[in-house]
Structure 1
């Protein structure tokens, strides 16, 4: 007979064992959670409720050489709403009034009520109401019904973002450029992005109720480092002058696009760079940087280099004569003609002219024959001279996108043919950007010293200079002084008695060379597409600035010669720029845009709209307005004004349609004193 007590013990042991198995499993799981999976789970949870948030730095400003803002970062705000955080009482009492207040932002009161109520009914907690709102508007919105109860009771969520603004509006837009995912890295913004962008900061944030994040002050935060400021060589007054002179010409001649660059002779500083192209709506804007990107056959502006080589090699002198016969010359199956060949006719004899006169009148036949006769047995001698000057190398300009120059060499049989040499002589077969060609003209003005163009003077941090950029010499002497002296006389005579003689002004002596290049001649017989250009410097007797103007595809029915289309822009810019000098002659007067390229309607100031523009916080166009009237109008409205000169306004800052405030200084200039 079994012992009942023993059976009881057995049952107890079995029961205990059965209880210990799940307890052991639980204990095992706790150990695994604590020591094996625990750290990972803890990190995962903390990542959801505690995490690093990046703090964007303030991007550095870009300034002009005269300390005007070219690009700056401005705060803009997006407005979001959490309708579920609002109590039923506040909602019923104030939602109608909120919709009324919001109706000033693009929607009717009914539309705002529909959006607000539907979002609450759908239990949405992050509803976007407005974007890109100014700080002043945000301050008002915070006092709106519902929102005035704060973010936890009123549901208002304000998020800040940085907006890059160019105070000069579209002026120099492509030169200033962009640095973002949408437009890429262009202009100064792209070239100096490493300096401008700064360094992101980090901050520990904890998720609170309703999706809000709160900073945790644990001492581990990293403050953002704001970007450095970039000071460019651009002068806003010169930029504004060159911009509007080129713009008016493009408009009048209905051109496709154009570019113009103004450079300081001694240093290579770019004082103004304008790039304007026709937009889809028929207006003009800064689309591409044609000055550094567009490499084309230069046309007759290349004759300066041809003349330099002929003089340096003693192949010709300014008094050397050339028979250009009837203005045409047949070479193999190709014909070189003078630009006015069709006007004079094939039967009339052009006669014999000197090299000096050929340069002044821009004779294609004379230069083609001179170069072919002197270098046909050794064409490399001519081309090597261009290489020796350094014209085959890119400038390595700071702004990205420069197209390398193209100069064919006789050793390269794929690029060289029987007509290459004579066609090079008058500006075809080679290819340069406007800035590369300007560098050569600047070297002639600078007594043979070829300096590298540059567009940034210094980098600053907290108004202290951390890096300064100095002039760099590319070639200390492009030719002999004897040749330089002759070239300067030739360039001066182009304006005195040559193709640009209609622009001669004894007040400002301009020197330079006109150019007219035919486009698409190899694929369109009888093409009427041209590129008009002018390159030179001023004043001729003491060069301070060099300038190049290129106008692409003007309406040939109006004009297409460089002397008529491009050269006037350079002449008027020279007069205006020298008028800025405090030591200018008293008789020097610049009246903006009064050439044939200006339409009469655009010269009429719209006095009746000036007050309206000012009261909207926008700078009106004051050009042509009596400076005394503008001064009184602005001061009566509470603006600070600095005015120079008398008569009508020729220059203003800020530029038209720029957002302004009464803390800014408005500058007005009249060059008639």
Structure 2
């Protein structure tokens, strides 16, 4: 038999045809990728390599009226690490070094280094650049440092709840830091760079950079020195009296600018995370309370402005008065007494104040309270400012028609009550409270804030009459004798009100206050002092008046306000004089 083999040329031809077909597919795909779709793949490759880095903007500063720093931003570093590149045998050593330098617990750092399934772990933010440089020089494996900023508060707790603080994301979370955040924050920039698989930048590649816009500075009307004196005085009195809290406000009579706004206890801004949330609140502007006898100036203003009474009007005043279904008592027991309205204010007679209010009527008193700002949130950008509570006169109960006259049944804030006395001291013209003196523009130049809105509330003559009455209240026969300042004429009023406790749902304890201005004949400053729920005494003349005296004395010396040298005009205090 003869074995016939297949034709090899045929097999070769078939193989060549198959290889040609396959190669043509590869060639077509190659032409598509490198020719037709080259730009698509090139863009995809660039996207893989391209990374966007945020360039943080520097936050603006907050200063007092004289430019002293209250909140500043300094350069810092954010440290992160790739745990997968830290050798297991040296992990404990590096954890100890990092913990010691960063002020962290070694257990926390060790736990982060143990997460080898991730390539990124943030170790710390707000790191001092010197510390970051020291760790980089120590060649900690896969450690990276990014430039950032941290917020510092050089004055600690000075005006803490007023200034507020900044959170981890760089936004203001309270106080002026929050209300002025759009001014202070600026706008972050960004940088787009190409990096390799190891995360390092590829040399000679293009970079797209949008520069950041730094924040602008905010200058407050607060005077650092007077703020310190106010905080020291109210903190000491809160401690001495066993009060829950206290507040002091100092305001410029002519401009409405807030010179000091102190709370006790105050928030330490450098340790705000450890503080209770209640201390974040600017109580001087947000805590609502019944004002008590400090409110009697509004009743007096309504009665005098309407022509219903004058300071010399004589009332026959018993020590109690019936109002609807209640009998309301005077500040102290006494026989029926002939009393001028001036004497009634000086001695803080509730009954005489009710008698004057009845000559005006509930509607007239309500309109005057509203004109002085009760029931409305003050403007001026003060953080946390509340409106208080002023029910419509048609909703007043029978007894409330009397108690409102001496400051029970309405609620205000310390800021609102300070504004009332600023209006009287300013000749009857109310100036909207101001807390921001101005800001810097894009070029760093200072731009003053517009002046506060001015509104006439009562006539200049009425304001002068009330001022003389308030001077009598600080005289020897008044309840505010402890507020007197040697060499200066002082006008003011005490307040002692029952305190409503929202937690208990009933009245419990007292609110003690004093508010006044000096010099009485040429007023420059208003000072309000208030204590909530004191345990050792409760009268405003006993507890708040000494704080007023301390703060006002310091403030007038600090501002070099001289005594006017004039004496109080002779007035008729008692009936029959």
TM-score (norm 2): 0.83
Indicate yes or no: 2:238 matched with 1:250. yes
Cα distance in 2 between the residues matched to 1:200 and 1:283: 32
Matching residue of 1:503? 483
State the SS of the aligned residue for 1:315: coil
**Contact 1:508 1:574 (8 Å CA) reproduced:** no
Indicate yes or no: 2:343 matched with 1:357. yes
Cα distance in 2 between the residues matched to 1:121 and 1:559: 60
Indicate yes or no: 2:328 matched with 1:336. yes
Output one character per residue of 1:223-268: Cα deviation in whole Å (capped at 9) or x when no partner.
1111111111111011111111111111111211122111111111
Shift of 1:157: 2.4
**Contact 1:64 1:236 (8 Å CA) reproduced:** yes
- Are residues 459 and 106 of structure 1, via their aligned partners in 2, closer, same or farther at CA, if it must alter by over 3 Å? closer
State the SS of the aligned residue for 1:76: strand
Indicate yes or no: 2:251 matched with 1:263. yes
- Are residues 323 and 9 of structure 1, via their aligned partners in 2, closer, same or farther at CA, if it must alter by over 3 Å? farther
**Contact 1:276 1:288 (8 Å CA) reproduced:** no
The one of 428, 435, 455 equivalent to 2:408 is 428
State the SS of the aligned residue for 1:519: strand
**Contact 1:510 1:574 (8 Å CA) reproduced:** no
> Structure 2 stretches of 5 or more lacking a match?
268-272, 564-577
The one of 385, 399, 413 equivalent to 2:368 is 385
The one of 180, 184, 195 equivalent to 2:183 is 195
Matching residue of 2:522? 542
Where do residues 119-198 of structure 1 align in structure 2 (5 Å cutoff)?
132-144=126-138, 146=139, 155-180=142-167, 185-198=173-186
Cα distance in 2 between the residues matched to 1:549 and 1:402: 17
Matching residue of 2:291? 298
Shift of 1:137: 3.0
**Contact 2:189 2:212 (8 Å CA) reproduced:** yes
Indicate yes or no: 2:353 matched with 1:370. no
- Are residues 570 and 38 of structure 1, via their aligned partners in 2, closer, same or farther at CA, if it must alter by over 3 Å? farther
- Are residues 391 and 217 of structure 1, via their aligned partners in 2, closer, same or farther at CA, if it must alter by over 3 Å? farther
Matching residue of 2:385? 402
Shift of 1:296: 2.5
Shift of 1:48: 3.3
Output one character per residue of 1:296-330: Cα deviation in whole Å (capped at 9) or x when no partner.
321111100000010111111112222332x2223
Matching residue of 1:608? none
Cα distance in 1 between the residues matched to 2:412 and 2:42: 64
The one of 442, 446, 466 equivalent to 1:487 is 466
Cα distance in 1 between the residues matched to 2:101 and 2:298: 64
Matching residue of 2:68? 68
Matching residue of 1:594? none
Indicate yes or no: 2:420 matched with 1:443. no
Q: With a CA cutoff of 8 Å and minimum separation of 6, indicate the structure with the bigger relative contact order.
A: 2
Matching residue of 1:614? none
TM-score (norm 1): 0.72
**Contact 2:374 2:387 (8 Å CA) reproduced:** no
Matching residue of 2:545? 567
**Contact 1:510 1:571 (8 Å CA) reproduced:** no
- Are residues 333 and 21 of structure 1, via their aligned partners in 2, closer, same or farther at CA, if it must alter by over 3 Å? farther
State the SS of the aligned residue for 1:520: strand
Output one character per residue of 1:27-48: Cα deviation in whole Å (capped at 9) or x when no partner.
5544665688766655444333
State the SS of the aligned residue for 1:211: coil
The number of residues matched between the two structures is 550
Output one character per residue of 1:580-616: Cα deviation in whole Å (capped at 9) or x when no partner.
245658xxxxxxxxxxxxxxxxxxxxxxxxxxxxxxx
**Contact 1:338 1:365 (8 Å CA) reproduced:** yes
**Contact 1:278 1:284 (8 Å CA) reproduced:** no
Output one character per residue of 1:94-121: Cα deviation in whole Å (capped at 9) or x when no partner.
997996797576689xx79x959x9599
State the SS of the aligned residue for 2:322: strand
> Structure 1 stretches of 5 or more lacking a match?
148-153, 586-673
